[in-house]
Amino acid sequence: MKWKFTKKMWHVKKHERGILFKDGDFDSILLPGEHTRWDLKNRYTVQIVDIHSAKFVHPLADYLRRYEPQVVETHFDALTTDIQAVGLRYEDDALVEIIPPSAKRLYWKGLKSQRFAYVALTELKVSADVLTILTKPSLRAHAIEGLGGILQVTVPAYAQGVLRVNGKVVELLSAGLHGFWQFNRDITVDMVDTRMQALEINGQEILTKDKVNLRINLTAIWQLTDLLLAYEKNAKPADYLYRELQFILRELVATRTLDQLLEDKQALDQLIAARFNTLPGEMGIELSRVGIKDIILPGEMKTLMAQVVEAEKAAEANVIRRREEAANTRTMLNTAKLMEENPVTMRLKELETLERIANRIDKFAVYGGLDQVLNGLVKIG
C-alpha cells in the first residue's frame, strides 16, 4: 500500500498567530511567516487568530495554562487574580480592562506591551488616578472593558450621599465624584438634599370630636440635621416624618370640636410641632415649621356655616342700626331742650330752616313781613 503525502502551506500575517492542530489536538503556535507540513491523511489543521484583540478567549486557554507552561511563557502574558483582588490591564500604558476577582486570563504577546496592576478589595474606594482615567476619554485609547465592576457616583453641591455596603450605612459622601469597587459586595448610594425641604400632607379625612368629617391639608418645613443617624434609624426619613405628622394630626383633630379648630388654627400648628419634637428617640430630623393650609368642610356643612355667618352678620348689622337710631334720638332730644331754653337758638334754627326751603323755591311772595312767615312755619312744624 502506498501512502500519499500532501504538502500543506499556511501564511501567518504579522498581526496574526496560528494554532496548529494535529489530529484535532493542540500541536504548537505558529508565528508570522510561511509554514509547511507534509501531511498524511489530512492530519494537520491551522486556526488563524487576529491578535489585535490581545485577550485569548479560546477553549484551549485552560489546557495551555495547565499543560503547556512553556507555550504560555513564550507566547502569552498570563494574569491571575485572587478572590479578594481586582486586576487592571494596561496596553502601552493605557488602561483597557478591569478584571474581576478569581479570574485567569491569557493575552497574546506581540503587538502591544502589556502591564498589569492589582487592587486589593479591602480598598472600597477607587483611586483618584483610576477615576481620572475613567472620566476623561482623552486618557483612554478606547472603551474600557469591565467598567460594570465600578460604581461611579457624582454628588451635587447641595447634597450628600449616604453610602451603604451590603445594606449597612458606612459613610457620608461630600459633593464631587466618587468611585467604588462593586465586586463581592452590594453598594448603593442615596442622594440626600441637605437644604430645607417642604413636605405636603394632603387630603387627610378626619372626624372631629363632634363628628364632623373634615379634609385637612398640612405643610411641614424640615431638614436633616444628622444624616447618618437619620438613615440608620429609617431607610426613608421623609416617609417617617410623613407618617408621624399624619398620626399626630389625626390624634389632635379627633379630640377637638369644629369650632375649636376654626377658632385658632395657629394653636393647632404649634401643638403638632411640639408633639413631634417630644417624640422619644433622636432621629436626626429638625422640624422648623408646621402649618395647616386648608380645613375643607363637606358640602352640606359649608351651607350651614354660610347660613350661620350670614345670621351673625345680620344680627351685627341690626345692632349697629339700633345704636345709630338711639344716637340720633338722643341728639334730637338734646337739640329740642337747647332750643326750649334759649330763644336765640330757636330763632337761628328757624332761619336755617327758612334758608333750606328758599333754596328749593324759585319765587315766593311775603305778606305781613318776615315775622309772619316765621310764625307760619312754626305752626306748620
Q: What is the pLDDT of residue 381?
A: 45
pLDDT value at 326 more than 90: no
Asked if the model's pLDDT at residue 373 lies above 70, the reply is no
- pLDDT, average across residues 364-372: 56
Mean pLDDT on 191-218: 87
Pick from 216, 282, 222, 223: which is nearest to 249 by CA? 216
pLDDT at 76: 94
**CB burial class (10 A; 0-12, 13-18, 19+) of residue 162?**
buried
- In the chain, where the domains are located: 51-191, 197-296, 309-380
Looking at this protein, which amino acid is placed at residue 52?
Answer: H
Give per-residue pLDDT as tens, 185-194.
999 998 888 8
Report d(CA 36, CA 7) in Å as an integer.
7
**pLDDT reported for residue 61:** 93
CATH superfamily of 197-296: Band 7 domain (3.30.479.30)
Q: What is the mean pLDDT of residues 78-92?
A: 92
Separation between Cα atoms, residue 268 and residue 256, nearest integer Å: 10
In the predicted structure, residue 313 carries a pLDDT above the cut 80: no
Q: How would residue 380 be classed by pLDDT, with cut points 50, 70 and 90?
A: very low
Mean pLDDT confidence for 96-117: 91
Grid coordinates representing 153 are 457616583
Better-scored residue on pLDDT, 235 or 120: 120
Whether the pLDDT of residue 341 is over 50: the answer is: yes
User: pLDDT confidence of 167, banded at 50, 70, 90?
Assistant: confident
Tens digits of per-residue pLDDT, 26-76?
999 999 999 998 887 888 999 999 998 899 999 999 999 999 999 999 999
Which of these ranges, 127-131, 278-282, 294-298, 370-374, has the smallest mean pLDDT?
A: 370-374
Q: What's the pTM?
A: 0.63
Percent of the chain with pLDDT over 90: 37
Using CA atoms, how far residue 48 sits from 17, 40, 72, 110, 182, in Å, is 6, 21, 17, 15, 37
Question: For residue 144, what pLDDT is reported?
Answer: 86
Mean pLDDT of 364-381: 54
Residue 126 has pLDDT above 70, yes or no: yes
Q: Residue 104 contacts by C-beta under 8 Å, 6 or more apart in sequence?
A: 61, 62, 65, 78, 79, 80
